[in-house]
Amino acid sequence: MNAGPRAFRAVLLDLDGTLLDTAPDIASAANRMLLQLGRATLPEAQVVEFIGKGVANLVHRVLAETGGDGGAHDHALEIFENTYLAHVADRSRPYPGVIAGLDRFRARGMALACVTNKASRFTLPLLAATGLSPYFGAVVSGDDVARRKPEPDAFLAAAGALGVTPAESWVIGDSANDVKAARAAGMAVVVVPYGYREGLAVEALGADAVVASLEAAAGSITMVASYP
């Protein structure tokens, strides 16, 4: 990685597709919603392609694939949100290397924040249920800022909460939204090869680098942080 002269003090991490594989619970909630609406369900792999731009967009895309909106969007959104909240962490789990990576970051004194487009009513219980809450000095959800990713607001808010500058912050994500938001915030950004990219190749995201896992990222970032 070519990080130039920067000395990194903080790592800002996306949630869905970066820290946690949340697709099983999101797809399950979407299909429960469809069943309540009397519609056919969708394969999990198809629902995964709709993750990353917020719940309202996901519901819109799911409805479009199963007969259209038909004026049902608001009702469908309410169903989805209620069922997802009730089952937010049934099958969601950290990806391999996540815990080891977070431990390594913390051991090296890096400040950590979770930055997500997910609403706080889902984010906070999900982090708690999966044991990730204690790692983060700041959590910025989609409803905590005026503009969600790909705008820079959430990353800038997280850096401010941690007391670091954008130049001292490194973003780890999995999507074009993460890369665009990081660039707009003036932050370095790497991406993992797994997660939810809406069908884009990971090389097409335009990040500074692709890292195999969070554990691998922790080794690279802490090395750069130690030798600015």
Residues identified as active-site? 14
Asked if residue 135 lies in contact with residue 102, where contact means CB atoms within 8 angstroms, the answer is: yes
CB-CB neighbours of 38 under 10 Å: 8
Tally: H helices and E strands in the chain: 9, 8
Asked if residue 101 lies in contact with residue 217, where contact means CB atoms within 8 angstroms, the answer is: yes
Distance CA 92, CA 29 (A): 12
Region label for 183, one of left (φ > 0), alpha (ψ between -120 and 50) or beta (otherwise): alpha
* Torsion sign across C-alpha atoms 206, 3, 9, 219: positive
Q: What is the CA radius of gyration of the chain?
A: 17
End-to-end CA distance of the chain: give it in Å, rounded: 12
